[in-house]
Amino acid sequence: MPPDSAQLTARRNGPLAGAVRVPGDKSISIRALILGALTVGETRVGGLLEGEDVLHTAKALQALGARIERIGERAWSIHGVGVGGFAEPAAALDFGNSGTGCRLALGAVAGCPITATFDGDASLRSRPMRRVLEPLERIGARTLASADGRLPLTLAGARDPMPIVFEPQVPSAQLKSATLLAGLAAPGETVVIEAQPTRDHTEKMLAHFGAEVRVESLSDGSGRRITLVGQPELAPRPVVVPADPSSAAFPLVAALLVPGSAVILNGVMMNPLRSGLITTLTEMGAAIERLDERNEGGEAVADLRIRSGGLRGVEVPAERAPSMIDEYPVLAVAAAFAEGTTVMRGLKELRVKESDRLAATAALLRVNGVGVDIEGDDLIVHGAPRVLGGGVVTTHMDHRIAMSAIVLGLASERPVQIDDGTFIATSFPGFVELMRGLGADLS
């Protein structure tokens, strides 16, 4: 059976062991491509995630006039066109399943005097874009065609972009990033005020490429004010992409749950705005040790040593959600094996991911004999050290639901099957081979 194929089955097969490096961070990879395309000159990126989401983004940027080529394993060269320099594409830009690539590219195109059509697969077409379009239209872009704020969507970029002050109504790094990328082409200062901090990769990478960015805490101490000085000339700078903490979550949780396991994950990004899962698992009693903590390309990085052991239920506060929004499905799997009840609060954002991840996560657990409730936007998992398993999980074309179900199957009493593993490659190419290399039984 080919890797990452449909109808994968995961079975218990003894301890997991070994040292591995998961693929490069998707958020950093996509931002490196987009910002490299907005520089003048050549940017080289090492460790790029070569998953489908990133490759679709690269093809879209090529259609917009950037020269992007693979020069080695996970090594890429980008010849940019400068801020506001994108050319009008000859055909629709296809982002596949990549919500991040699409929303950030909407921002980058919004500051250019061109018209472009954005499209994607059936899953991406179902995801809302309206809230991203609101700040872009205030900057001066116009939405010419869209079905209910969804793809396919035609955007006319601003001919005279204007700086704005924008306060997102929901904590979203994609929404913030799209606004800042559009603001690059505007004179003066574009400001985003966050009531709740979200991942800050865009701000860090803008500064890395030479933009003037100020980040200040709000007077109440909870939020942040991000100010970007517009119309910079971004200069090429090398980027080394650290290992993706969202991808690392799957072998990490598997190592915690499969008895006798001892696994090392190398070079994982430890950005505080991305490490909510590790914080939560540590509160649950997980044995996770940080080794060789260091800085690579402006991001905190460490090797993680994980040993299996018992977990206990906890309450996860809503304000932690932005730092681990993609990791809730696999956290729910960990909670299924924990002693007691785990309550995960404030998960509204999960309803508008690749699937309705809140409902899909609950269904994943129920079909495998785990007690679970949804109350409003809260997910409540009633854990037990032994999970029956034996279910067939409907993945809804969602890579994270697929991988979470596989992790559950590696530790449950009976095998767990997923209906479709093909979408795993959108974020984690080689997932099946990596897990088999640690000792997992996947067929």
The residue written with tokens 């697969």 in the block is 121
Instruction: Tell me, yes or no, whether 92 and 159 share the same domain.
Output: yes
Categorize the per-residue pLDDT at 354 as very low, low, confident or very high, splitting at 50, 70 and 90. Answer: low
Calpha distance 263→17 (Å, rounded): 5
Contacts of 105 (CB under 8 A, 6+ apart): 34, 57, 60, 61, 64, 93, 95, 118
Instruction: Tell me, yes or no, whether 324 and 425 share the same domain.
Output: yes
Tell me, yes or no, whether 236 lies in a domain. Answer: no
Calpha distance 320→346 (Å, rounded): 9
For residue 414, report the phi and psi dihedrals to the nearest 5 degrees. Answer: -115, 155
Tell me, yes or no, whether 234 lies in a domain. Answer: no
Calpha distance 63→90 (Å, rounded): 7
Instruction: Tell me, yes or no, whether 18 and 41 share the same domain.
Output: no
CATH number of the domain bearing residue 152: 3.65.10.10
Tell me, yes or no, whether 192 lies in a domain. Answer: yes
Last residue of a domain, one of 165, 198, 229: 229
Instruction: Tell me, yes or no, whether 32 and 16 share the same domain.
Output: no
Tell me, yes or no, whether 216 lies in a domain. Answer: yes
Tell me, yes or no, whether 131 lies in a domain. Answer: yes
pLDDT by residue (tens digit) across 374-384? 999 999 999 99
User: Coil, strand or helix: which one is 222?
Assistant: coil
The residue written with tokens 């559950």 in the block is 408
Q: Which H or E run includes 100?
A: helix 99-110
What pLDDT score does 322 carry? 86
Last residue of a domain, one of 172, 205, 229: 229
Calpha distance 166→103 (Å, rounded): 16
What pLDDT score does 1 carry? 36
Annotated active-site residue 326? The verdict is yes
Categorize the per-residue pLDDT at 4 as very low, low, confident or very high, splitting at 50, 70 and 90. Answer: very low
Tokens of 378: 């809260």
As separate numbers, helices (DSSP H) first and strands (DSSP E) second, the chain gives 13, 24
Contacts of 32 (CB under 8 A, 6+ apart): 43, 45, 48, 78, 205, 239, 241
For residue 191, report the phi and psi dihedrals to the nearest 5 degrees. Answer: -125, 135
Instruction: Tell me, yes or no, whether 438 and 321 share the same domain.
Output: yes
For residue 239, report the phi and psi dihedrals to the nearest 5 degrees. Answer: -130, 130
What pLDDT score does 297 carry? 62
Out of 326, 356, 378, 398, the active site residue is 326
What DSSP state is assigned to residue 195? S
Instruction: Tell me, yes or no, whether 123 and 267 share the same domain.
Output: no
Categorize the per-residue pLDDT at 2 as very low, low, confident or very high, splitting at 50, 70 and 90. Answer: very low
Q: Is residue 249 predicted with pLDDT exceeding 80?
A: yes
The domain in which residue 402 lies consists of 9-24+243-442
Which neighbouring-strand residues pair with 366?
A: none
pLDDT by residue (tens digit) across 320-345? 998 999 999 999 999 999 999 999 99
Other C-beta atoms closer than 10 Å to the C-beta of 272 total 12
Instruction: Tell me, yes or no, whether 33 and 16 share the same domain.
Output: no
Contacts of 220 (CB under 8 A, 6+ apart): none
Q: How many domains is the chain partitioned into structurally?
A: 2
Instruction: Tell me, yes or no, whether 156 and 266 share the same domain.
Output: no
Residue 116's closest CA among 140, 75, 139, 144? 144
Q: Is residue 423 predicted with pLDDT exceeding 80?
A: yes
Tokens of 247: 């991808």
Last residue of a domain, one of 195, 229, 263: 229
Instruction: Tell me, yes or no, whether 247 and 274 share the same domain.
Output: yes
Instruction: Tell me, yes or no, whether 293 and 223 share the same domain.
Output: no
Contact between 10 and 441 (Cβ < 8 Å): yes
Instruction: Tell me, yes or no, whether 216 and 277 share the same domain.
Output: no
Q: What is the mean pLDDT of the chain?
A: 95
pLDDT by residue (tens digit) across 163-209? 999 999 988 999 999 999 999 999 999 999 999 899 999 999 999 99
Read off the pLDDT of each residue in 262-281 and give the average, rounded to a whole number.
96
Percentage with pLDDT > 70 across the chain: 98
Percentage with pLDDT > 90 across the chain: 89
Tell me, yes or no, whether 61 lies in a domain. Answer: yes
The residue written with tokens 């700040």 in the block is 135
Contact between 262 and 63 (Cβ < 8 Å): no
Tell me, yes or no, whether 238 lies in a domain. Answer: no
Tell me, yes or no, whether 340 lies in a domain. Answer: yes
Instruction: Tell me, yes or no, whether 281 and 141 share the same domain.
Output: no
User: Coil, strand or helix: which one is 174?
Assistant: helix
Contact between 50 and 429 (Cβ < 8 Å): yes
Calpha distance 333→370 (Å, rounded): 9
